[in-house]
Each structure stands twice: as C-alpha cells, then as structure tokens.
Amino acid sequence: MRKKILGVLYGMAIGDAMGMPPELWSRRRVLEKYGTITDFLEGDPENEISYQYHRGNFTDDTAQAITILDSLIETDFRPDGANIARHILEWAKRENAFENNILGPTSKITLDLFEKGEDASVYSDQALSNGAAMRIAPIGTLFCAEQKKALCDYVKQVSSVTHSSDITIAGAAMIAMAVASVMEKEDRDAMIQDVLEIEEYALSLGASTVSASLGTRIRYGVELAHRHAEDETAFLQELYDMMGAGVNTVDSVPCAIAIAYYSFDVKKCALMCANLGGDTDTIGAMATAICGGIKGIDGIAEADLRLIQTANEVDFTEYAEKIEEKRGKLQ
C-alpha cells in the first residue's frame, strides 16, 4: 500500500505543478496564451500568482497538505486544530504567503484571526472556497474505503480551523473518499458510488450555507465524461461552461472528480486540469492525487518524479511510511 500512498502524494504535487502557470486564468485566456499545455512550464510572468514559481514547483495546495501531515505526525495523527493552524501559519510566514497572494480568501482571514487569538468561526462557518478540499487528498490514504463516517469525521477535524461550513467539509470529504476508494478498488464507477454515498453525512457536519449540490454536479460531470468519451476538448469545454472551475468548492471539486473519472491516469489528468482554465493548480492537485492512488508511484513517469523532487527539494517517502503505519487504524 505504500506505493499507492506515494502515488497520491506525488500525483497531487504533479497536478498542482502542472496547473500552476495559468492559475486562475479563464479558459479563453489559457487557450490564447498556450494553445495546449503539453508539459510542465515556468510560472507565467503575466500571472499575478504563478510568476513567483518555477517549472515543477508545486503551490500552496501541496505545501499545505504536507504542512498538515507534519502537524498530524507531531500529534500522533490525532487532529489538533490549534496545532494545525500553527503549522500552516509558520509555513505562511516562511513563504510570505500573506504578502505574495498565495493564501486563499478564507484561510487568509481565519489564520489571521487565529494568530490574534480571536474567534474565526463566523468566517469559517460561511466558507465556500476550496481551501479545505485542495489540501485533503493525503487524508484519504489513512482510511479504508468502508470507513466512510470515520473518514468524514476526521476530515472535519482537520479542516475546521479554516473551513467549517457544510459545503467545504463535504467537498473535502469527497476528495478524500475518492482517494480511499481508488486505492482499494481501482474502479472509476465504484469511486463515484463511494463519493456520493458520503455526501449527506458529510454535509451534516458543517454549518449550513446556500450552495448548489455537489452530488448533482458530480453526476453531471460523469454524464459529460460519457457523452464526450472520444473528445477530450469538448469534455473540458462543457465542464468549464457548466461548473465554472473557480475557487468555490462546489465548482472545483466536481470538476476535479469528473476529470479524474475521465482520465484515470496521472499524466493525462494533470494535463487536462492544466488546460481546463480556472483554478487549475487546485483542481489539478485534487484530481491527480486521486489518479495517483490507482496504480501508485509505479504509474508515474520517473522523469516527473525527479522533477517534483528536485524542483521542490522534497522526498515523500517518510510521509508514506508514517501514513502506512496508521492506515485503517484511525477512528
């Protein structure tokens, strides 16, 4: 199972890094600038976020995921909101994330209030953005597919320091569930079934918000995948037109799950997400992490692994070992 855990971690980083250059650009602008993205690229000097990154660098999605793992390792995988917040804040300060426009809107406000010792729940309870879902994929590797309620409860504990609304907890839980499902079953339709089964319970764990249905949008994404099975461009265009591919959970999570379902392969998934437009790095991180869990690290090109390792000075082996020790044992 360790190879599959590594596949999720490196898959997340690959999708994140591939989608980094056109982050938050419209689909039209991506097409006008790049035509079709076919490989990792340098951050774009015209992009207000990605200009500060280099080829193969992952962004805050993967960085925060690893930061959360650091916190969980420190607390023996018992989620401690204050500890998680402290780790994310320390990372943010090292990276000048507040000044460099790296943090998402909800995380920026809630972490600032946490540091001041003030209650941030009025903001985290109203959260709609994808800050919880973007960093959650490694949590899925800690659970077996049948541990649905335990997975959702754990996602809530990990996420609530910045995102405690129904839609953000459910969106994060669905990404984690997709990871847990494919690691065991390697089946795209089983993945969708497992993801949809947790929606109602996961939504019950957070503060109520006004939002479209994640489940309905995921089902529609699957329908589009079948409708355009032989036309990747048409699939991406209609997915973008219907979902928006923006930073809201209800837009980006269904996009990620639909692209993972369509591609079911790490490299194809990462490229599709990069070419989609919208929140490309985050959608890429979520979707490609899912795909990384199917065949594990053996399904990832050696050159891509080396690029992630050298560009970010990382090796996920120790994380995978510690996750494997706890997998299936958390309640």
Q: Which residues contact 29 (CB under 8 A, 6 or more apart)?
A: 22, 277
Select from 331, 330, 280, 267 the least CA-distant residue to 53.
280
Q: Which residues are annotated as a binding site?
A: 59-61, 279, 281-282
Q: Which residues are annotated as a binding site for Mg(2+)?
A: 59-61, 279, 281-282
d(CA 141, CA 151): 10
Is residue 129 within 8 A of residue 278, CB to CB? The reply is: no
Residue 254 sits at the vertex; the CA angle it makes with 326 and 292, to the nearest 5 degrees, is 40
d(CA 16, CA 285): 4
d(CA 20, CA 41): 8
**Three-state SS for 311?**
helix
Looking at 116-213, list the stretches that DSSP marks H as alpha helix, in order from N- to C-terminal side. Answer: 121-124, 131-134, 137-140, 148-159, 166-185, 188-197, 199-204
d(CA 295, CA 55): 25
